[in-house]
Structure 1
Amino acid sequence: MDDVDTLASSLAHVSRDLLAQSSAQATLNKIVEHTVELIDGCDDCGLLLMRAGGVESPAQTSDRVRKSDQAQAELGEGPCFDAAREGTTYRVDDMAAEDRWPRYAPRARELGIASMMGFQLFTSEDTLGALNLYSNRANAFTERSRQVGWIFASHAAMALSTARMGEQLETTVETRRDIGEAMGIVTEQYRTTHEDAFGLLQKSAQDYAITVREAARIVTRTGELPRRD
């Protein structure tokens, strides 16, 4: 089996494994694990994700990756944040000679980071964040590392997007079930129509500054609309 066939087989296995995960967080954990296994020169890996107008670090293979992300957040600069926010792909061949991030580079060297490479994670509908690779030695990442990383980042983005959609769908189904059950209780308890029952749920949610689903859960638990004691 030649190199191309080996790579294709590895990517197919990894893609199946990512899609088999039971949650978005499990998918994130597998993405960073497989990155280290798959890409030449990679000793550690971390993910930065775009959430609520900012970035978060939900998965990493070591504590130094977490510390690196913290340093970039504190300093307001760094390659990982540029990749996540601006959609850039980067490669740092030698952190000792790096001048693009003058405050972050010394912190990275203190953590034993000699070279880095990163890719934006995105789908056609959404920008998700960045996949960031770390090495203990300078010039660790080759052109092949970059090509494989770019391909894998595409697979990872699709797997993560699919996992998120699945969780959102599950939440939607559970919400509709909770509200439907509560409406049945309100209809019987207050001798009202189905439509008016939903109106009562909405008003209770507004009065108590909670979601309709939370109001519905109170109804199913107590048999009554939310009220102050």
Structure 2
Amino acid sequence: MDAKLPPVDELASFAARMSDLLLTHDDVGEAVRALTQVLIEAIPGSAGAGVSLMDARGQRTSTSATDPVVLEADQLQYDLRQGPCLTAWAQQTTILIDDTQSEKRWPAWIRGIAHLPLRSALSCPLSTPHGAIGALKIYSRNPGGFDSRTLRLAGLLARPGALMLANAQARDAAQHFRTGLVALKGHDALGTAMGILMVRRRCSREQALAMLITISRERNQPLHQLAQEIVSGETTL
């Protein structure tokens, strides 16, 4: 390695920061950005870091990469469906590349990144009791950029990092579910309110909707809120 690992007191500081992150970052995006920042600070000699997660469409994607070369190297893994990060994720094991110029695994990916200033790489799974939810990765511009001590440090950061991201993902999923329920209730209320107006005003469905939209704009009131008030009897039209 071309730099020393942080001393014990700094490692304790990084561990404390990870604990704080578990409590303070509710959003997945914020949590990932915080994790990559800790990685860069904790592991010397790194050219860039990032986290691979599954997006809403079920596609693997890189999040909060600290350097464009990380994004390029990662995207090639996703396109080829091979590479150290994907292997670390799938097998839930830490993967170390000492030198990309002599690496024999993932030949298509190795050829594809030959033009990038990356000579060594370290990938760690983000493992939870229910399986891996992704992987973190660190790249170096130098061969032999990471050693066994770095592997242990990355593992120490990956474990609480996985917990932090899993918690953030669960909170995001719960929020999306609640938002969906609100939207569904609003849609049901709108249909009911339109039916009420059709009976009261003896108008068509299209006319009832146009009337609601007009009143909503005049009152500067959300359409779903107006509809709910009509259904509940708070507003009579």
The bucket for the TM-score relative to the shorter chain is 0.7 to 0.9
Match of 2:103 in 1: 98
**Larger Rg computed on CA atoms:** 2
Q: How does 1:52-131 map to 2 (within 5 A)?
A: 53-131=58-136
Amino acid at match of 1:99: K
Q: Deviations over 1:172-218 (max 9, x none)?
A: 33344444556566667657xxxxxxxxxxxxxxxxxxxxxxxxxx9
Instruction: Give the partner amino acid of 1:84.
Output: W
- 1:207 — aligned with what? none
Q: Is the 8 A contact 1:43 1:134 kept in 2?
A: yes
- Cα distance change on mapping 1:8 and 1:62 into 2, 3 Å: same
| Cα offset, 1:4, TM superposition | 3.3
Residue 21 in 1 paired to residue 19 in 2? no
**Residues 147 and 72 of structure 1, relative CA distance in 2, 3 Å threshold:** same
Q: 8 Å contact 2:186–2:225 — kept in the other structure?
A: no
TM-score after normalising by structure 2:
0.72
Match of 2:141 in 1: 136
What's the TM-score once normalised by structure 1's chain length? 0.74
> How far did residue 32 of structure 1 move?
1.4
Match for 2:25: what amino acid?
A: Q
List alignment gaps of at least 5 residues for structure 2: 1-5, 197-221, 229-237
Give the 3-state SS of the residue equivalent to 1:66 in structure 2: helix
Partner of 2:153: 148
Give SS of 1:140's match. Answer: coil
Indicate the SS of the match to 2:64.
strand
Q: Which moved more, 1:126-135 or 1:164-173?
A: 164-173
For residues 7 and 67 of structure 1, the distance between their equivalents in structure 2, rounded to whole angstroms, comes to 30
Matched, 1:170 2:146: no
Encode CA deviations 1:14-45: one digit per residue, 9 max, x unaligned: 33135422411111112112111112332211
Give yes or no for contact 1:78–1:101 (8 Å, CA) kept in 2: yes
SS at match of 1:223: helix
Aligned residues: 197
Cα distance change of structure 1 residues 26 and 124 upon mapping to structure 2, 3 Å threshold: same
In the alignment, the residues of structure 1 paired with residue 80 and residue 184 of structure 2 have an alpha-carbon distance, to the nearest angstrom, of 46
SS, match of residue 45 in structure 2? coil
Q: How large is the RMSD of aligned CA atoms in angstroms?
A: 2.8
Question: CA offsets per residue over residues 43-76 of structure 1, 9 Å max, x none?
Answer: 2112111355541122211110111012223333
Matched, 1:12 2:20: no
CA distance in 2, matches of 1:150, 1:56: 21
Provide the C-alpha distance between the structure 2 equivalents of 1:78 and 1:189, rounded to a whole number of angstroms: 55
Q: What one-letter code is carried by the residue in structure 2 that aligns with 1:159? A: M
